[in-house]
Amino acid sequence: MTDRLRILHASVEHLRFVISSVEVFVPEASAYPTEWTIADTMSHIGSGAVISMRTLDDTIAGREADPAFNQSVWDEWNAKAPSDQVNDALVADEEFLLALEALSDAQRSEFHSSMGPLDLDFNGFVGMRLGEHALHTWDIEVAIDPSATLSSEAAGAIIDNLGMIIRFAGKANGEVKELSVRTTNPSRDFMLVFADDSISLGDAAHTGAVDFELPAEAFVRLVYGRLDQENAPAGINELHLENLQKSFPGL
C-alpha cells in the first residue's frame, strides 16, 4: 500500500468516526463554510467517490469517459434527502477506497488518468482524492469541534502537492512579490511567488527568519481557503493572513 493510500484509508476511517461520534447528529447543521451543511459536504464526498470510481474503472478498462456522467451523479446526489446524503456517502467512500486498495501492483504502475490539465499516475490520483477527502472531513469536524486540525500525516502528504494546487486555485491580483514560508510538522521551506497573473510555490531553503511560519496543516488549509483568524494557530498576523486569504479563496 502506498503512503498516500494508507493515509487516505486513515482519513476514511476518521470521517466515519467523526460522523458516528456525534451524540445527536443533525445533517442540516452548518459545516465550513457556513453556507454548506454537513449533508452538503457529505454529498460532495459521496458524489466525488462515485465519479472517481467511474474514472478508475474507465482508466483500468481503457474506456473513454462519458461526458454526461458527472452531471448525472451530481443531480442524483443533490436530490437525496440530507440523511441519505450522509449515509450513502459513507458507503460510496468505503467502496471507492476498497477499489483502490484492490488494484494489483501492475495495475497501479500502469495507471494514467487525465483530469483537466492534469496528468496523474496512481499516486497522483490517490493524492487528489486525499486532498479533497481530508479537507472536506475537516469542514465537518470543525463544525463539531472548533479546535479541529488536519492530521500531521495528511498534511505531510498533501503539502508536497500544493504547488500544483496553487497553480490552478491561486488568484493573482497583479501584485508582484515573493513570500518566504516555513512549515512545521512536517518541516518544509517554500517560496510563494506572486506574479502579475499567476501564483507559484517552489521549494527554497531559508536561513533565519521567514515572512510566514506556521504548521503544515494550517498552510494546507490556507491554500484550500480554510484558514480564518478564528481557526488559525497562535501567532499568525491578522493583516498578513487577510491578504493571503484573498489569493486563496478556496476549493
Residue 6 pLDDT grade (very low, low, confident, very high; cuts 50, 70, 90): very high
DSSP secondary structure letter of residue 28 = T
**Confidence (pLDDT) at 211:** 87
109 or 205, which is more confident: 109
Strands in the chain per DSSP E? 113-115, 118-120, 177-184, 188-194, 199-203, 212-215
Residue 183 pLDDT grade (very low, low, confident, very high; cuts 50, 70, 90): very high
**Confidence (pLDDT) at 208:** 84
Rounded-to-integer distance, Cα 143 and Cα 156, Å: 23
Q: At a CB cut-off of 8 Å and minimum separation 6, what does 242 contact?
A: none
Of 109, 127, 148, the last residue of a domain is 148
CATH of the domain at 236: 3.30.1050.10
Residues 18 and 100 in one domain: yes
**Confidence (pLDDT) at 150:** 96
Asked if residue 130 lies in contact with residue 3, where contact means CB atoms within 8 angstroms, the answer is no
Residues facing 37 on adjacent strands: 30
Asked if residue 230 lies in contact with residue 146, where contact means CB atoms within 8 angstroms, the answer is yes
Rounded-to-integer distance, Cα 1 and Cα 3, Å: 7
Residues facing 173 on adjacent strands: none
**Confidence (pLDDT) at 196:** 87
**Confidence (pLDDT) at 84:** 97
Give residue-wise pLDDT tens across range 158-173: 998 898 888 888 888 8
**Confidence (pLDDT) at 233:** 84
| pLDDT(1) > 60 | no
Give residue-wise pLDDT tens across range 21-72: 887 778 999 999 889 999 999 999 999 999 999 999 999 999 999 999 999 9
Task: Please report whether residue 111 resides in a domain.
Answer: yes
Q: Which domain holds residue 32?
A: 3-148
Q: If 0-12 CB within 10 Å is exposed, 13-18 middle and 19+ buried, where does residue 94 land?
A: middle
Residues 135 and 188 in one domain: no
Residue 156 pLDDT grade (very low, low, confident, very high; cuts 50, 70, 90): very high
Return mean pLDDT, the chain: 91
Residues 142 and 182 in one domain: no
DSSP reduced 3-state for 89: helix
Average pLDDT of the segment spanning 3-24: 93
**At 3, which amino acid appears?**
D
* Helix (H), strand (E) at residue 53: helix 38-61
Of 122, 148, 174, the last residue of a domain is 148
Task: Please report whether residue 78 resides in a domain.
Answer: yes
Task: Write the CA distances from 227 to 123, 136, 214, 215, integer angstroms.
Answer: 27, 13, 11, 12
What is the total count of domains within the chain?
A: 2
Give residue-wise pLDDT tens across range 68-100: 999 999 999 999 999 999 999 999 999 999 999
Of 129, 148, 167, the last residue of a domain is 148
